[in-house]
Amino acid sequence: MNVTDIKVFVPSKDYEISRSFYADIGFKPEFITDDLTLFQNGSCSLYLQRFYNQELADNFMLQICVSDIEEAFNICSSSEHKTRIAPIEQEVWGKVFYLWGPASELLHITEFSS
């Protein structure tokens, strides 16, 4: 098997609010169906689905790697649809902050050290 790409299907409690959230933080939406939107940023993409299961959403995590964590933090801080955002933390491997989306999904926004 030669894997060329992996895309995750993100749950949404309120599909339209989640669509706005991912657009707010820099992903460009592409309509697929009434229940599925492809979001892209550069060569990275994810699917937002009109599906919600609280247990899944409460345990759903994504790591999003960025080149400039301060810029990412400023962009994410301005989203009115975020649930919560934690300050940037310095780790031995780089920097990270945590961002909770509208369905309580957890995004690890990460900048690795060079």
| pLDDT tens by residue, 3-28 | 999 999 999 999 999 999 999 999 99
- Report whether pLDDT(76) > 90: yes
The model's confidence at residue 75, banded by pLDDT at 50, 70 and 90, is very high
Q: How much is the pTM?
A: 0.94
**Rounded Cα gap, residues 114 and 106, in angstroms:** 25
- Report whether pLDDT(114) > 90: no
DSSP 8-state code for residue 86: P
| Average pLDDT over the chain, rounded to an integer | 96
> Which fold does the domain 9-112 belong to in CATH?
2,3-Dihydroxybiphenyl 1,2-Dioxygenase; domain 1 (3.10.180)
Domain residue extents for the chain: 9-112
Q: Which amino acid is at 2?
A: N
For the record, the structure tokens of 8 come out as 């995750």
Torsion of CA 77, 80, 83, 89, to 10 degrees: 0
Q: Which amino acid is at 48?
A: L
- Quick one: 107 exposed, middle or buried, by C-beta within 10 A (0-12, 13-18, 19+)? buried
Q: Which amino acid is at 23?
A: A
C-beta separation of 57 from 74 below 8 A = no
Q: Kindly report the CA angle at 89 between 88 and 95, in degrees rounded to 5?
A: 85
